[in-house]
């Protein structure tokens, strides 16, 4: 028999789905990571984890066609928050979403904050 706490427990593991689509130009040599994990088409991240996107490139160019988090588009819509602010990567690049995704997303879209 389960108690009330068991029914109300929220599984925080792997609740954030990150999808990344990159387009390679001029035979690039690069490493694209999310939270220091090599990029695949779909990554699963914990609900309360920071998101740190990073690309280290030494040759060619990589275009970030699309990054979505649980279906919400992050790049190129919010490319002005990346360093450098572009989706065409020819030098080292990063974008950090500090803290849990949903409070950040609600604030950046002007929807206020979530509890």
Beta bridge partners of 51: 97
Average pLDDT score over residue span 32-48: 90
Q: Which residue segment(s) compose the domain that 32 sits in?
A: 12-108
Number of structural domains in the chain: 1
Domain-embedded: residue 4: no
Cα-flanking dihedrals φ and ψ of residue 6, to 5°? Answer: -65, -40
Which element (helix H / strand E) includes 105? helix 101-108
3-state SS, residue 11: coil
- Over residues 12-36, the pLDDT tens digits come to 666 789 999 999 999 999 999 999 9
Question: What's the pLDDT score for residue 63?
Answer: 97
Domain-embedded: residue 53: yes
Beta bridge partners of 29: 59
Cα-flanking dihedrals φ and ψ of residue 108, to 5°? Answer: -70, -30
């Amino acid at each position: 028999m389960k108690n009330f706490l068991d029914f109300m427990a929220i599984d925080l593991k792997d609740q954030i789905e990150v999808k990344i689509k990159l387009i390679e130009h001029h035979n690039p040599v690069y490493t694209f990571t999310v939270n220091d994990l090599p990029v695949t088409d779909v990554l699963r991240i914990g609900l309360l984890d920071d998101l740190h996107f990073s690309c280290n490139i030494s040759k060619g160019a990589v275009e970030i066609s699309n990054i979505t988090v649980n279906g919400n588009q992050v790049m190129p819509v919010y490319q002005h928050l990346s360093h450098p602010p572009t989706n065409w990567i020819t030098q080292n690049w990063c974008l950090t979403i500090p803290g849990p995704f949903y409070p950040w997303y609600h604030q950046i879209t002007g929807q206020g904050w979530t509890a």
